[in-house]
Amino acid sequence: MHISRIAPPAARDLTAVVLAGGAVLLLAAMAAGVLLGPARISPGGLGAVLADWLGLAPLPPEFRRDAAVLGVIRLPRVLMAALVGAGLGAAGAAMQGLFRNSLADPGLIGVSAGAALAAVAAIVFGATVFGVAAGALGLWMLPLAAFLGGLGATLLMARLGSIGGVTGVATLLLAGVAVNALAGALTGLLIFTADDRQVRDITFWTLGSLAGSRWEQVPVVAVLIGLPTLGLIALARPLDALLLGEAEAFHLGHRVEALKHLAVTLAAIAVAAGVAFTGLIGFVGLVVPHLLRLGFGSGHRLVLPGSALLGGALLVLADLAARSLAAPAELPVGVVTALLGAPFFLWLLRRKAAA
Amino acid sequence: MRRRALLGLAATLPLAARAAERRLVTVGGAVTETVFALGAGSQVAAVDSTSLFPAPVRALPQVGYLRSLAPEGLISLNPDLLLLSDEAGPPQAIAVLRAAGAPVALIPDGAGAAAVPRKILAIAQALGLEGRPLAEAVADDWARLDAPVAALRPVRAIFVLSAARGAPLVSGRGTHADALLGAVGAENVLRDFTGYRPLSAEAAALLAPEAIVMMQHALAEAGGVDAVLRTTALAVTPAAAARRVMAVDGAYALGFGPRAAHARRDLAALLHPRANLPSLPARPWV
């Protein structure tokens, strides 16, 4: 069990070292994500584009393609991947701490299923029922619907899971299962009415992709994921206390009910915003906090910010692989995270069990 | 003098020469077929997974399924023009391509008599080629069948998209298959929904189709004619009793590209074996 290793004072140095390492890893992954990909950029092209951005020299016309690839396609895409991955990692770590269950992931609080339901509704009815709204919102309609759907499902779950002002963790989990089942059934109903092309669109959406990342999305995601992620990291100390048990945390002076609601809400915002723009990306929220726990213990002051950094790095690298492996086509990034993550995770578990 | 004459000749060449070196990426089966029919096939550098005809496209690099295009992958091919069916997506990826300044031309997809020449002319215009001869040839071939098809007694038919699992998926209004059935002397008996839906056994019995039209690969996936006719929903139909299951090549019959008129004749002849349909001239693009 991971409860046995809550950061002792001597572990502060370890925390600093691990977080610094995570930050370096994230920056290295982002650099790789910007510099590598199926559209090869020559060192000369990179130099010319950088010189243009820094205002040192105008861009020679033969490097216009390189400038578009770097500035219009890869930079926003890498930033989106880092933010979405950070949100998924931190939300996963917080949910595992809150439910005191290492199998918990953001999907458990209904956010993915709710977002999927709303996204499928937007795909199926987009052109007809929401005709006017679709015209005004354009490419923002699906993300907006998915964000509200994810958030709505989580709020519904939190409400159903709390009885008489007390939120039992088991009740909350079961409410999450029920909300997931309900959203899944409604999604199935919508898929029944969808035509062939819409079914294909739905399938691809549920596999996740960062191919639609554009600059105008970056500030929105930076706020909607960045702030809740920082908020979750700030909950490290009360989440550590919660690992000792709810009564113990209460006696240590933490308001356990408020903590639960805050953590669930922040995680739901961070995950819903990510899912809204990229579709469903599994495994990051489950595996990344696990890796850190297996390696460095369960202290949330390490696991929460570490999961954000490592989650961002992992998704940036997974997206680089998704872009490159099947070029000029592209693999769904959710497929890559699971394909790379699952075997590695199993290997790690077995090594840990043997040791 | 001679040298100047050569230079003069060279001055008229660049357009044609540039056209020959041009790199095209075509997305959508009918778009790709039309580019080849217009004689620009040698410029096609990559295609999507729905582009299966003519045979040379199968050796070209693949950009994936037309609803899941990859912006960077497309740009990495250094295309001079991306010719995309307007069915291509996702819309976010198209927006990224446009933001990156990639040369994108969207070609209206559509089914039926008017859609074919419209598609051909739009593609020719995007390529800077003369498209009227091809568009008129296909429209003439199509029109030659109008009167003979109108004289046929419409066969009550359904189009089955897939019958491999569970209830067969059949096509209602607003589908390419619906347009095809209407053009070949058949009546699509599925009138009360749009798109594709699973067909229940009761509805099938009530609608009593006399013929079932399927794509060849879907028929093969389902295990052949016998397997299809054993499915509960289809077993009860007059079509099953008469074993009237017609297999068509999906890209050929449903693409509504330059081969549309010939596909129309072939399926009409399958559905009406005793009808006296005019034969169409052999066209190089068919």
Structure confidence at residue B16 (pLDDT): 45
* pLDDT average, residue stretch A252-258: 87
* pLDDT average, residue stretch B99-106: 94
Asked whether A115 and A147 are in contact (CB, 8 A), the reply is yes
Nearest to B73 among A64, A72, A328 (CB): A328
B76 — contact with chain A (CB < 8 Å)? yes
pLDDT single digits (tens) A207-249? 999 999 999 999 999 999 999 999 999 999 999 998 888 888 8
Separation in Å, CA A122 to CA A136, A155, B198: 14, 20, 22
Inter-chain residue contact B72 with A72, CB threshold 8 Å:
no
Inter-chain residue contact B89 with A68, CB threshold 8 Å:
no
Where does the pLDDT of residue B11 fall: very low under 50, low under 70, confident under 90, or very high at 90 and above? very low
* pLDDT average, residue stretch B124-147: 96
Bigger pLDDT: A105 vs B2: A105
Structure confidence at residue A3 (pLDDT): 47
* Weakest mean pLDDT among B8-12, B74-78, B122-126: B8-12
Q: Is A166 helix (H, G, I), strand (E, B) or coil?
A: strand
Residue A281's φ and ψ, nearest 5 degrees, are -125, 105
Structure confidence at residue B121 (pLDDT): 97
Residue A324 has pLDDT above 90, yes or no: yes
Average pLDDT for chain A: 88
Structure confidence at residue A341 (pLDDT): 80
Structure confidence at residue B7 (pLDDT): 40
Partners of B197 on chain A (C-beta within 8 Å) are: 192
Nearest to B75 among A65, A194, A326 (CB): A65
Structure confidence at residue A243 (pLDDT): 86
Shortest CA distance to B134 belongs to which of B146, B145, B122? B122
Who's near B16: CB < 8 A, 6+ residues apart?
none
Partners of A38 on chain B (C-beta within 8 Å) are: 70, 72-73, 76
Partners of B71 on chain A (C-beta within 8 Å) are: 73, 211
Inter-chain residue contact A68 with B75, CB threshold 8 Å:
yes
Residue A322 has pLDDT above 60, yes or no: yes
Bigger pLDDT: A25 vs A195: A25
Structure confidence at residue B136 (pLDDT): 97
HSE at residue B150, side-chain half, CA atoms within 13 A, is: 6
Structure confidence at residue B198 (pLDDT): 86
Asked whether B87 and B28 are in contact (CB, 8 A), the reply is yes
Inter-chain residue contact B92 with A201, CB threshold 8 Å:
no
* Cα torsion A329, A344, A73, A40: sign: negative
Where does the pLDDT of residue A48 fall: very low under 50, low under 70, confident under 90, or very high at 90 and above? very high
Cβ contacts from A onto B, under 8 A: 111
- Among A11-20, A91-100, B157-166, top mean pLDDT goes to A91-100
Find the chain A residues whose C-beta atoms sit closer than 8 A to any C-beta of B. 37-40, 64-65, 68-69, 72-74, 139, 192, 194-198, 200-201, 204, 209, 211-215, 323, 326-330, 332
B8 — contact with chain A (CB < 8 Å)? no
- The B residues from 150 to 169 touching A (CB cutoff 8 Å) are 161, 169
Asked whether B178 and B238 are in contact (CB, 8 A), the reply is no
Residue A37: left (phi > 0), alpha (psi -120 to 50), or beta?
left
Residue-wise DSSP of A311-348: HHHHHHHHHHHHHHHTTTS---HHHHHHHHHHHHHHHH
* pLDDT average, residue stretch A303-326: 96
| Total residue length of chain A | 355
Asked whether B186 and B271 are in contact (CB, 8 A), the reply is yes
Structure confidence at residue A6 (pLDDT): 52
B62 — contact with chain A (CB < 8 Å)? yes
Q: What ipTM describes this predicted complex?
A: 0.83
pLDDT single digits (tens) B241-267? 999 999 999 999 999 999 999 999 999
HSE at residue B229, side-chain half, CA atoms within 13 A, is: 18
Where does the pLDDT of residue A132 fall: very low under 50, low under 70, confident under 90, or very high at 90 and above? low
* pLDDT average, residue stretch A90-112: 87
Structure confidence at residue A281 (pLDDT): 92
* pLDDT average, residue stretch A59-64: 91
Q: What DSSP state is assigned to residue A69?
A: I
Structure confidence at residue B4 (pLDDT): 43
Q: A2-354: which CATH topology? A: ABC transporter involved in vitamin B12 uptake, BtuC (1.10.3470)
pTM above 0.95, yes or no: no
Where does the pLDDT of residue A192 fall: very low under 50, low under 70, confident under 90, or very high at 90 and above? confident
Partners of A204 on chain B (C-beta within 8 Å) are: 67-68, 90
Partners of A70 on chain B (C-beta within 8 Å) are: none
Where does the pLDDT of residue A127 fall: very low under 50, low under 70, confident under 90, or very high at 90 and above? low
Residue-wise DSSP of chain B: -HHHHHHHHHHHSHHHHHHHH--EEEESHHHHHHHHHTT-GGGEEEE-TT---SGGGGGS-B---TTS--HHHHHHT--SEEEEETT---HHHHHHHHHTT--EEEE----STTHHHHHHHHHHHHHT---HHHHHHHHHHHHHTHHHHHTSPPEEEEEEEE-SSSSPEEE-BTSHHHHHHHHTTEEES--S-BSEEEPPHHHHHHH--SEEEEEHHHHHHTTHHHHHHHSHHHHTSHHHHTT-EEEE-HHHHHS-STTHHHHHHHHHHHH-TTS-PPPPPP-TT-
Alpha-carbon distance A57 to A8, whole Å? 54
Where does the pLDDT of residue A9 fall: very low under 50, low under 70, confident under 90, or very high at 90 and above? low
Alpha helix stretches (DSSP H) within A36-110: 43-53, 64-68, 75-98
Which percentage of chain A shows pLDDT scores above 70? Answer: 93
B200 — contact with chain A (CB < 8 Å)? no
Where does the pLDDT of residue B194 fall: very low under 50, low under 70, confident under 90, or very high at 90 and above? confident
* Cα torsion B157, B257, B28, A116: sign: negative
Residue type, B120: I
pLDDT single digits (tens) A32-43? 999 999 999 999
Inter-chain residue contact A329 with B72, CB threshold 8 Å:
no
Structure confidence at residue A282 (pLDDT): 84
Residue A65 has pLDDT above 50, yes or no: yes
Alpha-carbon distance B71 to A65, whole Å? 12
Structure confidence at residue A7 (pLDDT): 52
Nearest to A323 among B70, B89, B90 (CB): B70
- For chain A, the farthest-separated pair of C-alpha atoms sits apart, in whole angstroms, at 68
Domains and their CATH numbers in chain B: 2-109 (3.40.50.1980), 152-271 (3.40.50.1980)
Inter-chain residue contact B73 with A330, CB threshold 8 Å:
yes
